[in-house]
Amino acid sequence: MTTSTFGPTAAPAAASRPAERAPATALRRGPFAAATYREIGYALVSLPVALAGFVWAVTLFALGTGLSLTVVGLPVLALLLASARGLGALERGRAAAQLNLHTTGPAALPRAERPGWWAGVQARLTDAAGWKALLFQVVMFPWRVASFCVTLTFLITGWTVALYPVYAWVFPRYAGRPGYRVLDYTSDGVRHQYHLSSPWQIAGASLVGLLLVLLTPKIVHALTNVDRAAVRSLLGRGTTGAGE
């Protein structure tokens, strides 16, 4: 009995074709995927959240260390570390809802060995999880400023340029220009202007915009991966979901 050599080899080849098409399909669907806009929303909302956390952390830390020579300073630092834990819980919730990252929170604060509020203050001051959560608020602020700017720039620029053929007629009709003005400068008393007005120029600009639209989900995902790593390392002790 003879066995055909085409059967065993054809199946893997056929099975590999969907896998080869998967990255291209994911790239095309990226701009319209719900996960993309969850990550974009996360990056944009992170700026005001980070600003509030950074101001709160710096203010209380400066106040606490400035008063550390008195009895008042240490309770202020204890309050800061307790609130840092609370902000860390908020960040883990945001990461779970928008980044599909489910991270187990740090261990609970150990009970004070002695009764009384002073023993509680001392326990707070030795809370490693609280200090890590405070570090998160400080180091993530500049990153989230940059992440917000990059995300918003690519999002607006990509769609604005990609849709240029839709509104190109506005410039000659209402702005008194043949098209969008790219360059406008004066050299040796001569004014030079360059507009996107011809069909080829409009189509070329739209293609550049579409490329930016396709790249935006990848860029935003790379930016939010930094947030994922920070949440894992500074705000949790284990991850039950690796994220998208």
* pLDDT attached to residue 73: 86
Which sign does the torsion angle of CA 108, 112, 118, 124 carry? Answer: negative
User: How would you classify the pairing of strands 190-196 and 238-239?
Assistant: unpaired
Q: Which of 51-60, 67-76, 125-134 tops mean pLDDT?
A: 51-60
Which string of b and e fits 42-62 if b means at least 16 CB within 10 Å?
Answer: bbbebbebbeebbebbeebbe
Residues 38-53, mean pLDDT to the nearest whole number: 96
Which of these, 214, 190, 201, lies nearest to 28 by C-alpha position? 214
* pLDDT attached to residue 2: 45
* pLDDT attached to residue 77: 92
Instruction: Please provide the DSSP assignment of 181-216 as one string.
Output: EEEEEEETTEEEEEEE-SHHHHHHHHHHHHHHHHHH
Among the ranges given (61-65, 89-93, 236-240), the one the predictor scored with the smallest mean pLDDT: 236-240
Among the ranges given (15-24, 63-72, 116-125, 218-227), the one the predictor scored with the smallest mean pLDDT: 15-24
pLDDT beyond 70 at 197: yes
Residues 103-129, mean pLDDT to the nearest whole number: 78
* pLDDT attached to residue 28: 47
Q: CA angle, 57 as apex, 53 and 61 as ends, to 5°?
A: 175
* pLDDT attached to residue 112: 62
pLDDT beyond 90 at 229: yes
Q: Which of 10-19, 20-29, 169-178 tops mean pLDDT?
A: 169-178
Residues 219-239, mean pLDDT to the nearest whole number: 90
pLDDT beyond 90 at 125: no
CA dist list (Å): 205 to 165, 172, 185: 9, 17, 21
* pLDDT attached to residue 20: 46
Residues 127-140, mean pLDDT to the nearest whole number: 94
* pLDDT attached to residue 122: 77
pLDDT-based confidence at residue 243 (cuts at 50, 70, 90): low
Please name every residue paired with 183 in a beta bridge, in sequence order, or none if there are none: 194
Residue 190 dihedral angles phi and psi, to the nearest 5°: -110, 130
User: How would you classify the pairing of strands 180-187 and 238-239?
Assistant: unpaired
Q: 141 with 51: CB under 8 angstroms?
A: yes
What beta strand segments (E) does 96-240 contain? 103-104, 180-187, 190-196, 238-239
pLDDT-based confidence at residue 236 (cuts at 50, 70, 90): confident
Mean pLDDT, the chain, whole residue set: 84
Could you give the CA distance from residue 135 to residue 174 in angstroms, rounded to a whole number?
Answer: 53
